[in-house]
């Protein structure tokens, strides 16, 4: 297989996998799923631990820490918006929480993945000219993803807790 074939097939396989994964997410997003407040902290904690383990292998130097902080901030800002797009409902009888991905949240996620894919290809080609290591670029994308996913969960947790408190207060009978 020539180098050109590998350069062509690699991105095509990535796009095919992305289409399959996003199709599955779209199908699953159509259904309401239970939302358990008591477990919402687990995924962010796991992601933070994995990011710390990854970053500790090749610790950033100097201004790289600033870039990681900016990546986390950008991910957090987009994560807050993504969290706001997730539909959360409270059953008025049982006070059970449910979540459902809105079509806007799915489109938002597809756009973010497409931007990441585009940036990855551009930065991987220009990394040498910009004096950036592959490990550092990986760290930036990982920290961005942690910010995105952790803050999505945080926004959903805060909103779900408020909705649950409101539903419980509305259910109380005042004599």
Instruction: Provide the domain limits for residue 11.
Output: 1-30
Q: What is the mean pLDDT of residues 107-126?
A: 70
- 32-61: burial string, b at 16+ Cβ within 10 Å, e else: eeebeeeebeeebeebeeebeeebeeeebe
Structure tokens at 129: 């000219």
Q: Which 3 state secondary structure label does DSSP give 63?
A: coil
Do 86 and 135 belong together in one domain? yes
The structural domain count of the chain equals 2
Same domain for 118 and 46, yes or no, is yes
How many C-beta atoms lie closer than 10 Å to residue 29's C-beta? 20
Pick from 23-27, 94-98, 127-131: least confident: 127-131
Question: What are 43-82's pLDDT values in tens digits?
Answer: 999 999 999 998 999 899 889 999 999 999 999 999 999 8
Q: Determine the pLDDT at residue 175.
A: 39
Q: Do 43 and 65 belong together in one domain?
A: yes
What is the pLDDT at residue 114? Answer: 74
Check whether residue 49 and residue 13 sit in a common domain: no
Average pLDDT over residues 129-143: 78
**Candidate ranges 26-35, 96-105, 116-125, 150-159; pick with highest mean pLDDT:** 150-159
**21 and 43 housed in the same domain:** no
**Shared domain check, 122 and 105:** yes
Q: Which of 160, 161, 141, 159 is nearest to 67 (CA)?
A: 141
Task: Please tell me whether residues 21 and 88 are part of one structural domain.
Answer: no
Q: Considering only CA atoms, which of 28, 27, 167 is closest in space to residue 89?
A: 167
């Amino acid at each position: 297989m020539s180098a050109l074939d590998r350069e062509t097939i690699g991105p095509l396989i990535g796009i095919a996998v992305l289409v399959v994964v996003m199709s599955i997410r779209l199908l699953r997003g159509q259904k309401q799923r239970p939302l358990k407040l008591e477990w919402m902290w687990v995924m962010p904690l796991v992601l933070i631990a994995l990011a710390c383990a990854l970053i500790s292998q090749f610790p950033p130097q100097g201004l790289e820490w600033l870039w990681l902080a900016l990546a986390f901030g950008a991910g957090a800002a987009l994560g807050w918006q993504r969290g706001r797009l997730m539909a959360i409902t409270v059953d008025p009888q049982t006070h059970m929480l449910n979540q459902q991905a809105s079509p806007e949240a799915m489109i938002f996620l597809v756009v973010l993945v497409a931007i990441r894919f585009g940036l990855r290809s551009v930065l991987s080609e220009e990394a040498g000219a910009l004096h950036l290591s592959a490990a550092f670029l990986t760290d930036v994308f990982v920290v961005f993803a942690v910010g995105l996913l952790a803050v999505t969960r945080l926004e959903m947790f805060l909103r779900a807790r408020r909705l649950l408190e409101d539903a419980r207060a509305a259910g109380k009978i005042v004599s």
